[in-house]
Amino acid sequence: MENQAPERKPRVFSAIQPSGSVTLGNYLGALKNWAALQDDYDCIFALADLHTITVRQEPAKLRHNTLEAYALLLAIGIDPQRSPFFLQSHVPAHSQLAWVLDCYTQFGELQRMTQFKDKSKKHADNINAGLFTYPSLMAADILLYQANFVPIGEDQTQHLELTRNIAERFNNSYSPTFTLPQALVRKEGKRIMSLQDPSHKMSKSDENVNGCVYVLDKPDDIMRKFKRAITDSEASVHYGEGKNGINNLMDIYSCTTGEDYATIEHDFAGKGYGDFKAAVGEAVIEHLRPIQERFAQYSGDKAYLEKCWNDGAEKAAHIANRTLQKVMKKVGFVL
C-alpha cells in the first residue's frame, strides 16, 4: 500500500575494543560479518573505548589505536551513512545505563565469567572493579539500542547470555523494557586460534609475536607468521581431531577464499604442510590487500573520521537516550 511507513529491519549492534591493533581473529570472527549484515539489518556499531581501561592503557596509544581502528573499520566496509558508527565514550548513556544494570547483576554471575577469570590471572596486580563489572557495561551497550542480533566471535557468547539474563530480570521486575538480543556467531571463523599455540584463541595479548596476525601486517610479516605456524607430524591436510593447527589454517583459508573443507582437502592431497602454509599466507595477503589500501586513504583524513564519529554519536545518542529515559522512569527516578 502507498504511504505506508517502511517496516523497520531487525536491529544489529556490535562493538570492538580499540585496545590494540585489530587481529585476523577479530576480522574473521566478527568484523567481516558486520560489513555483510548492513544490507539486511538496521546496524549500529561502536568502538568500545570505555571497556579498554579495565586494563591499563597508555593515553597516547589509546588515542592512536582508536583512530586506527575507526579508519580500519571503514576500510573493511562499515558505511557510516547507513550504520551509525561511534565511540562509546561519546554517548554518556552507556555509562549511565551500566550503573543501573550493575544493580541488576549478581556478584556470582560476574564471578563465573571466563574472561574475568582469564584477565584476572593475566593482570593479577590490577584486578579492578571495572574488570569485574565489564559485562554489565557490555549489556548496556546492547540493550540501549534494543538490538535483536549481536554479531560476535565465540569468546563473547557468555557475555551475551548474561546480557539476556540481566534484560529478562529487569523486564520481569517492571514491564517489558528491553529486547532480548541473540548472538550471531558464524560457523566459520568463530574462534581463530593462535598460530603458535593452536589450543588458545588468537589474541592481541599473545606473547609470541608470530602467534597473532594483524589486519594491517605487511605481506612479508603475514607470510612469515604462516610459514612458522605450528602444525602436527602427520603431514596430511585434512580436518580432524588432534589437528588443531591444521584445522585452524583450514578455517582461515576457507574464510578468505570461500572454499569448503572438502575442496581444500582435495586440492592439497599429497602436498606437504609447507605448500599449504604458504597458500594460506598468500590467501590472507590477497584478501587483506584491498582493505589495507582503503585504510591508507581513510587514515590520512582525520577530519572525515571526526565528522563520521560525531554524526554517529548524535544518531546513537538519540536512540540510546530514549531507552535510558524509559529505564529511569521505571526505576522511579524523578525525571
Which grid coordinates belong to 292?
Answer: 589495507
Q: Which is nearer to ligand TYM, 74 or 202 (CB)?
A: 202
Q: Which is nearer to ligand TYM, 48 or 78 (CB)?
A: 48
Task: Note the residues at the interface with ligand TYM (CB under 6 A).
Answer: 14-17, 25-26, 29-30, 48, 51, 138, 141-142, 150, 152-153, 155-156, 189-192, 201-202
Q: Which is nearer to ligand TYM, 63 or 307 (CB)?
A: 63
Overall residue count recorded for the chain in this entry: 335
Give the shortest CB-270-to-ligand TYM separation in angstroms: 30
Residue linked to cell 589450543: 199
From the CB of residue 187, how many other CB atoms can be counted at a distance below 10 Å?
7
Residues 147 and 124 sit within 8 Å (Cβ to Cβ): no
Residues 29 and 153 sit within 8 Å (Cβ to Cβ): yes
Give the shortest CB-235-to-ligand TYM separation in angstroms: 26
Which position's Cβ is nearest ligand TYM?
A: 29
Q: Which is nearer to ligand TYM, 30 or 74 (CB)?
A: 30
Give the shortest CB-248-to-ligand TYM separation in angstroms: 10
Give the shortest CB-142-to-ligand TYM separation in angstroms: 5
d(CA 179, CA 149): 10
Which residues are annotated as catalytic?
119, 201, 204
Give the shortest CB-114-to-ligand TYM separation in angstroms: 12
Q: Which is nearer to ligand TYM, 197 or 267 (CB)?
A: 197
Give the shortest CB-201-to-ligand TYM separation in angstroms: 4
